[in-house]
Structure 1
Amino acid sequence: MVNRKLAGKKILITGASGGIGMFLAIHVARAGGTPILVARSVGKLQIVSHKIEESFQVSCYYYKADLQDGVETKSVLDQIYFDHGSVDAVINNAGVAIFSYVAEAEWQDIEQMIDLNVTSLIRTTHQLLPHFIKQNHGHIINIASQAGKMATPKSAVYSASKHAVIGFTNALRMEVEKRGIFVTAVNLGPVRTNFFQKADPTGSYQKSVDSLMLHPNKVAYVIVQSLFTKCREINSPAWMNAGSRLYQIAPTLMERVLEKQFNKK
């Protein structure tokens, strides 16, 4: 169903070759927007784009880019503006997790999480922001995590990266709120995607939280519905967000009570 807020709007989505990103593209197209997809897997992007165009009779554009490469990112974003003239919103969805104790972690894995989850997100936003300011409208949606509010063992670096995203998002919101630009943080619990194939190759954590996992289609629908509205945060599931809030008040108590749950990774 066409949403008047999204009709004809160009929405750039990173990490759009599968999972939440793919469903974001579907819901943008269904609402009458124009998805512009960015990811490394060009084959998957082609499939997603073709299916969307076939299903919704809208244009769906895609661009291959390794967002950890600053030069490549700048080139692709410049190309997008050259091709389309403007972008109305960006959903910074690309991210990665590799669960491990810090002492046992590979440095390249630590570096990848910081590079993709934090540096590339800030780089993309930094390059798009002058355009949003010039056109006096835009929406920046950053996919963070409940892990950025409540850290657990084996996710120290991942939690740190998402905590950085939340901090960046909160400060940016205050900087641009009088320029017609909305800024939203999305803090999710576990989502049923291929995310965990790399985060936890053993499958033990995914198995332990399987009944609690969010569906990416439902998550994407809620995010797309928030576009071009003043929305500080999207937090899901509600019970996990309540736990995160309680953790801020009584962290020691929560760590004791939830020790077994925290160590399921």
Structure 2
Amino acid sequence: MYPGVQFDDKVVWITGASSGIGEALAVRMSARGSVLVLSARNESELQRVATLCREAGASDVLVLPLDVSKHATMEPAAQQVLAQFGKIDLLINNAGVSQRSFCVDTDFDVYRQMMDINVLGQIALTQAVLPAMIARGEGHIAVTASVAGKVGAPMRTGYCAAKHAVMGFFDALRTEVAADGLQVTTITPGFIQTNVSKNALSGDGSATGTTDEDIAGGMSVDDCADVIIAGFESGEPEIAVGTGPEMALLPLKRENPVAAFQALEQMAAQLRQAT
């Protein structure tokens, strides 16, 4: 366990802040007096969220449009934040994109996008902020991974590969920076009511444009953010969040992996019949 996070006057940088979990976290941290840096590709949506943050009590808000797939832009972005606020207390790597296609039907470029956005983008931004955190001897880095970072789910081979990589990277990073006074938190949501499936890539790289029944029936994004905030405040290094049957896969994979594999194979068979 870590010391609990106190958000008052902390500089919190959230990627993927234009909707969903990122937006909900930004508003809640604003109510706790944080300084917010909001990043995503859609500047107009970021401005909308910035207004909500100011209304909620944020002491300051910087809208910083960012495409995490453009890795070379991470360092200049970090320097801009440091120039304006002098520090970054908490970076939440929340940007990402999912997938909905069987491997045999998936263009290789979709796999490349899964890695560029979900893995390399998070690593590039993390590397950009690490030196300043290490120099201060304090700082906190978090990443929104997924239950798909712990188990392999059908129609998400690229997404699962990326989220497994994210979990491995940040778990390893945690070991390296602990002696520097830094903390690392991994967040593993299950089905949350966001646009994740609507924006997910199909086999040809186009967005599906549809919302999965599991996502539609999942935990509300506000409840999700509340669980994550509580996890930060209580010092949890890994925060599992969700209420659906998918959350049972986490202990099942540890305790009885064969049963977990069989359950997911049945899910794949059902999906094949439905497509």
Native 8 Å contact 1:182 1:230 kept in 2: no
The more displaced of 175-184 and 223-232 is 223-232
Matched with 2:171 is 170
SS at match of 1:12: strand
Cα distance in structure 1, aligned partners of 2:263 and 2:71: 43
SS at match of 1:193: coil
Matched with 2:254 is 248
Per-residue deviation at 1:217?
1.3
Per-residue deviation at 1:189?
0.7
The two structures, once aligned, show a CA RMSD in angstroms of: 2.1
Cα distance in structure 2, aligned partners of 1:235 and 1:147: 12
Matched with 2:111 is 110
The two structures have a TM-score, normalised by structure 1, of: 0.90
Native 8 Å contact 2:5 2:234 kept in 1: no
Matched with 1:71 is 72
Native 8 Å contact 1:139 1:227 kept in 2: no
Cα distance in structure 2, aligned partners of 1:255 and 1:57: 45
Per-residue deviation at 1:101?
1.1
Query: Where in structure 2 are there 5+ consecutive unaligned residues?
Result: 203-207
Per-residue deviation at 1:256?
2.3
Per-residue deviation at 1:218?
1.5
Matched with 1:259 is 265
Matched with 1:217 is 222
Native 8 Å contact 1:138 1:228 kept in 2: no
Native 8 Å contact 1:182 1:231 kept in 2: no
Structure 1 runs of 4+ with >4 Å offset: 262-265
SS at match of 1:60: strand
Alignment pair present for 1:194 and 2:195: yes
The two structures have a TM-score, normalised by structure 2, of: 0.87
Per-residue deviation at 1:23?
0.6
Report % sequence identity.
30
Cα distance in structure 1, aligned partners of 2:233 and 2:60: 21
Matched with 2:205 is none
Cα distance in structure 2, aligned partners of 1:57 and 1:126: 26
Cα distance in structure 1, aligned partners of 2:5 and 2:174: 24
Post-superposition Cα deviations, 1:195-228, rounded to whole Å, max 9, x if no partner, equal 1112272637x125533x1211121222233336
Matched with 1:203 is 210
SS at match of 2:143: strand
Label 1:55 to 1:209 Cα distance change in 2 as closer, same or farther (>3 A): closer
Label 1:39 to 1:241 Cα distance change in 2 as closer, same or farther (>3 A): same
Label 1:258 to 1:195 Cα distance change in 2 as closer, same or farther (>3 A): closer
Cα distance in structure 1, aligned partners of 2:21 and 2:226: 10
